[in-house]
Chains A and B, each alone.
Chain A
Amino acid sequence: MKKIFYFLPLVILAILAIYLIMGLGRNPQDLPSVLINKPIPAFELAPIKGQTKGLSNLDLLGQVTLVNIFGSWCEACRLEHDLLMKISKNNLVPIYGIDWQEPNNLVGPRWLKRLGNPYTLVGDDPKSRGAIAFGVTKAPESFVIDKNGVIRFKHTGRITENTWNNTVWPIIMDLKKQ
Chain B
Amino acid sequence: MTPAFFRSSCLVIALLILFPFNTNAVDPSEILGNATLEKRARHISKDLRCLVCQNQSIDDSDAPLARDLRLLVRERLIQGDTDNEVFDYVVSRYGDFVLLRPPVKAVTAILWLGPAIFVLIGFIGLLRYFRRQSKDENAEDQNT
Q: Which of A32, A35, A127, A138 contacts B93 (CB 8 A)?
A: A35
Which residues from A are CB-within-8-Å of B102?
Answer: none
The dominant DSSP class at the A interface is loop
* Bound: A32/B98 CA distance, A: 12
Stretch among A74-82, A83-91, A128-136 lining the B interface: A128-136
Is the C-beta of B126 less than 8 angstroms from some C-beta in chain A? Answer: no
CB closest residue in chain A, given B125: A9
* Bound: A137/B51 CA distance, A: 6
Task: Report A44 CB to chain B, min CB distance, Å.
Answer: 14
Q: Are B65 and A135 in contact (CB under 8 A)?
A: no
Which residues from B are CB-within-8-Å of A32?
Answer: 95
* Bound: A133/B92 CA distance, A: 9
Which residues from B are CB-within-8-Å of A131?
Answer: 65, 68
> Could you tell me which residues of chain A, from 134 to 174, have a CB within 8 Å of some CB in chain B?
134-135, 137-138
Q: Are A34 and B64 in contact (CB under 8 A)?
A: no
Is the C-beta of B133 less than 8 angstroms from some C-beta in chain A? Answer: no
Which residues from B are CB-within-8-Å of A33?
Answer: 95
> Could you tell me which residues of chain B, from 37 to 77, have a CB within 8 Å of some CB in chain A?
51-52, 54, 64-65, 68-69, 71-72
Is the C-beta of A115 less than 8 angstroms from some C-beta in chain B? Answer: no
Q: Are B93 and A34 in contact (CB under 8 A)?
A: yes
* Bound: A133/B94 CA distance, A: 9
Is the C-beta of B112 less than 8 angstroms from some C-beta in chain A? Answer: no
- Residues 24-59 of A, flagged 1 when their CB comes within 8 A of B and 0 if not, give 000011011111000001000000000000000000
Q: Which of B52, B72, B94 contacts A138 (CB 8 A)?
A: B52
Which residues from A are CB-within-8-Å of B97?
Answer: 31
* Bound: A31/B51 CA distance, A: 10
Task: Please list the residues of chain B having a beta carbon within 8 angstroms of any beta carbon in chain A.
Answer: 51-52, 54, 64-65, 68-69, 71-72, 90-95, 97
Task: Please list the residues of chain A having a beta carbon within 8 angstroms of any beta carbon in chain B.
Answer: 28-29, 31-35, 41, 101, 127-129, 131-135, 137-138
